[in-house]
Amino acid sequence: MPESKTLFITGASSGIGAQTARQAVAAGWNVGLFARSEDKIAKLAEELGDRTLALPGDVADRNAQAAALDRLTGKFGGIDAAFANAGTGVTASGTEGGDPAEWHDMIHANVMGVLYTAHAALPYLRKRKGHFVVTGSAAGRRHIKGSIYGAAKWFVHGFAGNLAEEMSEWGGRCTVVAPGMVDTEFFDEPDDSRLHPSDVADAVMHALDAPARADVREIFLMPNRNAG
């Protein structure tokens, strides 16, 4: 890469987002690390060095995301890609047995948060024919009994396709990365037979590294539990 490109990552404090930050910095990108856990992103920024900027904030807060992008572009001159990855699950499963207060917070993070990232990032991405990547899910590709989380990810998949059409008008690209279960803090108990965060980060980097003529619209990856 002749000049360093810059990537804004939401949900960068752990799991898929943190690992993608590590791999992007190793590949020569500057990275903005956005999440609520100030201590964790500060620690990651310290680990990864000058190419990073810790940007504490809540994705459900539109102004916080706009302010973070303002700071990031102020430091590195612009952005070439945004990875809308922040997301959360719910503890009460199903619809009848679900908790509407949990749905409220989850939908504000997983749906409105993604829209706020796109709305704040697009003016910058347009300037560089940039790339929007978003974390969908296997749960956004198939029906899961009563799942409101899954329904929110169906929104993400639908939105990503629509945004790809909008961005292509000015040479931009949009990718939804849809993993099955990944071994992250999303779950209380670790399980090595799930995908690893690096598997998902590899997919993100593949989409970002594709030649500008190729818009990788979707990457769907599942754990191969019988791999041995």
Ligand X SMILES: NC(=O)c1ccc[n+]([C@@H]2O[C@H](COP(=O)([O-])OP(=O)(O)OC[C@H]3O[C@@H](n4cnc5c(N)ncnc54)[C@H](OP(=O)(O)O)[C@@H]3O)[C@@H](O)[C@H]2O)c1
- Please give the Cα distance from 91 to 101 (Å, whole number): 11
Beta strand spans in the chain (E): 6-10, 30-35, 52-56, 81-84, 131-135, 173-179, 218-221
If one asks whether residue 87 binds ligand X (CB under 6 A), the answer comes out as yes
In whole angstroms, the minimum distance from the beta carbon of 186 to ligand X comes to 3
If one asks whether residue 182 binds ligand X (CB under 6 A), the answer comes out as yes
If one asks whether residue 14 binds ligand X (CB under 6 A), the answer comes out as yes
Per the CB < 8 A criterion, the answer to whether 185 and 164 are in contact is: no
If one asks whether residue 137 binds ligand X (CB under 6 A), the answer comes out as yes
- Please give the Cα distance from 93 to 95 (Å, whole number): 7
If one asks whether residue 69 binds ligand X (CB under 6 A), the answer comes out as no
If one asks whether residue 121 binds ligand X (CB under 6 A), the answer comes out as no
**Active-site residue 149, yes or no?**
yes
If one asks whether residue 186 binds ligand X (CB under 6 A), the answer comes out as yes
104 three-class SS:
helix
Total of chain residues touching ligand X, rule CB under 6 A: 28
In whole angstroms, the minimum distance from the beta carbon of 127 to ligand X comes to 25
- Please give the Cα distance from 111 to 86 (Å, whole number): 10
Q: Give Rg (Cα) of the chain.
A: 17
Q: Give the range of 10-18, 72-80, 91-99, 167-175 binding ligand X by CB under 6 A.
A: 10-18
How many residues in the chain?
228
- Catalytic: which of 149, 157, 183, 216? 149
Task: Name which of 155 and 186 has its Cβ closer to ligand X.
Answer: 186
| Structure tokens, 117 | 């990232």
- Positions marked catalytic: 149
